[in-house]
Each structure stands twice: as C-alpha cells, then as structure tokens.
A and B are shown apart, each in its own frame.
Chain A
Amino acid sequence: MNESGMSAPVLRVEKLRKSFGDEIVLQDITFSVPEHTATVFIGASGSGKSTLLRCINLLEQVDDGVIKLDGADISAADVNPDEVRKKLGMVFQAFNLFPHMTVLENIILAPTKVQGIGQEEAIAEAFKLLERFGLRDKADQYPDRLSGGQQQRVAIIRSLARHPRLLLLDEITSALDPVLVNEVLSTVRELKGEGMTMVLATHEMGFAKQVANEVCFLHHGKILEWGPPEELLESPKLSETREFIRRVHEAGRL
C-alpha cells in the first residue's frame, strides 16, 4: 500500500488481527499513514472501523500484528498506554465530552493534568483554539447547552489542545443533522490543510474524496480494496466495493 514516502510513516499497521470471543472483527490489516496525509476507512456498519481505531489508540488489545507509531512498536507488551496516548488524539462518534465540565474545562483537562502545563497557559491556548473555530463565546457553557455540531467541534479542539502527532476520527459526523455536518467537516478540512496526519472512519464519500490521500474499503474485517480516493470511489474494482458505494449513494450522502 502507501509505502512510497521517504521518511518513516507516522503510523504503520502490520497484519493486525482482533477478535471478540469467536467473532473475528479484524484480520490481516496492513497499511501506512505517512506524515501530513489522511487515510480514510469506509465500510458498512459493523465492518470493524471503530475497533481498528480503538486498537490504534490501545483501548483494545490486539490478538496479533504490530502497530508502530513513528517507527516504535506501540503494541509491545511493555508499552505504557498512557505514554502512547499522549501522542494520539481521538474524536468519537458520540462526542464523549465530559458533561460536568464547561467547554473550557473539557479542553484544558488533559493539558493541565497530563502534560503539566500551567493553568493560565492552557487557558490561553484553549481560547486561541476556540477563537479559531468560532466557539469563543461558548467557553463557559456546559456541553449539553451546545448544538451537536458545536459539541463535536469542541471535542476536536479538546484533542488538538494536546498537539497530537496523529488524529483518529471515528465517524465524527454520523450523530449529526445533515445541516451540522458541514461545520464539522470544514474544521477537519482545515486541519488537513495545516498538515495534520489523520486516520478517519466516515460515511461521507464527498468528504472522503476531498481530504483522503488513501481510501481503504473495510469489509468483514478485511481491507478489501484501497487506493487514491478518485480511483477507489469512482471506479472501484471489486463488486463488494461497488455495491457498498452504490448503497451509500442511495442513502443520499454524496
């Protein structure tokens, strides 16, 4: 797959396998994400996208295979997950903001508690990010008072405040009204433009086309087909891929 880059890829996954009980959820997953690129995973619900991202984030223990971050094996038994996660940002489908904290408190939690940055510096940085994404006036609100799109943008800011090496985005627009999807997607496009390295799972084909350097089609836990977005999305080779893309089109999400 994407093996061309001169420097080592930010993320390299080799022959990853994961099962829950008897159900094999992921097998033979191999791909690389070079710096400043985005790899997008598409696939039906239940095909294993979330599980893959959770494995990369060490929220799940893999059954086999290797995950490397900047060349270092993070799937090794003696790795401290907390140290690995300091370099990763993850945004979830359901936002997962902390409901008992204001927007600002959500954002500065990790910088102050994990990275040991001073309160004032963390707040200044948070305000800079909020300003940039047009959410400055929401700093003192509790998440429940925000629209879904605003909540998801706060969740993105919360990951960004930690300056992650790699951002994992798991269907970040699937819980949103079509109208709100755009504000979140344009945020991600902006990040891509700034050179953020990302792995995404999404159903938004149009968006995938815009931000992806590589698209992988996940089918029953295997990467069935992969390639540059124009090729994979417009002239898929396999009938499974064609079928999936046709169904997404029918659902009106292009």
Chain B
Amino acid sequence: MSDNRGRGTGENSGSAPYDFGGAWQPSEIEIARRIARKKRNRKNGFIAAFSSLLVLGTLLVVLVTSPGWITLRDTFFKWAYGFEVLPKIILGFGTNATLTLIAGTSVALLGLLIALIRTSRSPALTPFRFLATIYVDVFRGIPMLLVILLVGFGIPALQLKGVTNNVLILGTIAVIITYSAYVAEVIRSGILTVHPSQRAAARSLGLSHIQTLRHVVLPQALKRVTPPLLNDLVALIKDTGLISILGVTDAIRAAQIQTAKSFNYTPYVMAALVFLAVTIPLTRMTDRMLRNSLERQNAQGQA
C-alpha cells in the first residue's frame, strides 16, 4: 500500500478505506487499540476494588476497635432479636405502604390539577387560579406535623355530622393536603420549562388548548420532573410514618413499641432496613426507566 496522496477512486486504489466489497478485518492499529483498552479497563477495575477495600476496611476496623463497640452492637445490632420482631415491623409497614399508595395517587391527581390551574390563562379560571396560589403558599409553609395535628385532632373536635373521626383517614388527608402543594409546584415548574414554540407548533396544527396540554406539553413536562417527583415519593413513604403521632401503628410505631418493651434499639434499625429495602430498588428502577426513555429520544444519549 503506497502512501498515495494523489487523486484516486475506490476502484483503482484497492486500499482499505474504500474497499466496500470484502469482509472487514480490523486493522493492526485497531487490534492494538482494543488490547490497550482491555488492559486499561482491567487496571481500572483493580484500582476501584483496592480503594474500596481499603476505605471500607479502615472504617470497619475503626468501628469495631472503638471502646463502645460491644455495647453499641448489643443495643443496636442484636440480629437474633431483630429478626424476632421483624414480622411485627413489616406488618406495621403495611400501613405505610397502603398510605403511600392511596396518598401518592391522590397527590399526583390533585397536584396535577393545581399545577394546571396555576398555569392556565383562561379568564374563567381566574378565581381558581387565585385559590390555588393561596393553597400552595399556605400548605407549603406549614410544617406537615402541624397539619397532621390540626386535621387529626381538630376535625374530630368540631363534632361534625357525617365527617369521619377515623385518625387513619384524617392523617392520610393531612398528608395529601401537604404533599399536593409540593407536587403541584414541581409539575408547574416542569410545564413552564416546555418552550413556547412547542405550544405554537401544536396550536398551529389545529390542536386545542387542552389537546396541546395533553399530547405536547405534559408528556415533556412530566418526563423532565420525574427525578424530583421520585424524590417526593420517597419522602412520602417515609413521612407516612408521621401519622403514627395520631396513634396509628405503622412500621416506626411498631418498632417503638418493641423497643419500649425490651430497652433494645435493634427494632429501630430493622425498621430503617425495611424502609431502605423499598426505597432503594424504587429509586434504581425509576432511574433506569427515565434513562431508557431519554436514550430513545436523544441522539446524544444520557448526558
């Protein structure tokens, strides 16, 4: 193969770059490059493993050799006892899970509705826009614990006919009220980030305002705010525990009852692990879903 700098065509040069006919064989340069890459990957893997072992090992050694380690182990990490009380905690977690499902669905709907009202421009909705703004301002500003107490103890105190005194229901309502205000703002910010030109394009195709929202604006907006919404979902799972203050037995309350009996804190650790067992897979799963959908849509892949 000559170092051919003149003019030529695919037919007469016969050199690799224009030889479309034959089966392609990687060149020597490419083969060398692949070997070098493999070597570098192996080296990187080794460095990662070594540094992880070193750091985690050091932490472990510091922990077990510390003077209070034995007491700590016996009061927080008594695994045999932990597994004994685990069923009760899981039973309590059933309450958290149910509440999360019910509250999560309601929050999604109510939050979306409030966000749509706040971003609408229809004159007919003016009073609702005003109310929605006040709603968000108020319930984002009050600590949720207070809302739970006000709703959970306040409403029964009113002794209204036909209104429930069930603290579980009242507690759930309090959670929904607070979270809807947060979620509405997240969704609203997502709607605002969709460029006006997208709306213009949809409207000039003859889509109505509602159709534009439904098919063009919301799909893009919701995709963008999925990470913060997931954040709120994880927070919701944990915050459902707050209504235990009204006397509902959830995972935290169940652990507390056990701890009070035995003066051993392992049930708390078990409760923490139960929460993690749900929230971590949930986070990973949503991350993956989001990444896949972005990868399909974007040429540059995930950035």
- Listed in ascending order, the chain A residues whose CB lies under 8 Å from chain B are 54, 57, 59, 81-82, 85-86, 88-90, 92, 94, 96-100, 109-110, 113-115, 142, 144-145, 158-159, 162
Contacts and interface: CB of A to CB of B under 8 A. Distances in A.
The 6 closest A-B pairs by CB, nearest first: A96-B201, A110-B205, A90-B204, A114-B206, A86-B206, A85-B206
21 contacts: A59-B203, A81-B203, A82-B206, A85-B203, A90-B201, A96-B197, A96-B200, A96-B201, A97-B201, A98-B198, A98-B201, A98-B216, A100-B220, A100-B223, A109-B215, A110-B205, A113-B215, A114-B207, A142-B296, A142-B299, A145-B299
A254 B220 CA distance: 39
B190 to A, nearest CB: 13
A86 B205 CA distance: 7
Contacts of B296: 142
Given A57-B204, A59-B203, A144 B211 contact: no
B2 interface: no
Contact of B206 (A59, A92, A162): A162
B206 A96 contact: no
Interface in B210-228: 211, 215-216, 219-220, 223
A92 B205 contact: no
A92 B215 contact: no
Nearest to B295: A142
B159 interface: no
B297 A144 contact: yes
B51 interface: no
A96 B203 CA distance: 12
Contacts of A98: 198, 201-202, 215-216, 220
Contacts of A99: 220, 297
A94 B197 contact: yes
Contacts of A86: 206
Taking each of A89, A94, A96, A144, which has the highest tally of chain B beta carbons within 10 Å of its own beta carbon? A96
Contacts of A100: 219-220, 223, 297
B208 interface: yes
A86 B211 CA distance: 14
Contacts of B201: 90, 92, 96-98
Nearest to B297: A142
Contacts of B25: none
A17 to B, nearest CB: 21
B193 to A, nearest CB: 13
A110 B207 contact: yes
B298 interface: yes
Contacts of A90: 201, 204
Nearest to A81: B203
Contacts of B203: 59, 81-82, 85
B297 A59 contact: no
Given A94-B197, A96-B200, A113 B223 contact: no
A114 B204 CA distance: 11
B200 A59 contact: yes
Contacts of B219: 100
A109 B203 CA distance: 12
A158 to B, nearest CB: 7
Contacts of B300: 144
Nearest to A85: B206
B204 A59 contact: yes
Contacts of B216: 98
Given A89-B204, A98-B216, A144-B299, 9 more contacts: A59-B200, A82-B203, A85-B206, A98-B201, A98-B202, A110-B206, A110-B207, A113-B207, A114-B211
A86 B200 CA distance: 14
Contacts of A94: 197
Nearest to A143: B297
Contact of A85 (B197, B205, B220, B297): B205
A23 to B, nearest CB: 19
B40 to A, nearest CB: 30
Contact of B211 (A57, A88, A113): A113
B199 to A, nearest CB: 9
A92 B200 contact: yes
B211 A92 contact: no
B197 A92 contact: yes
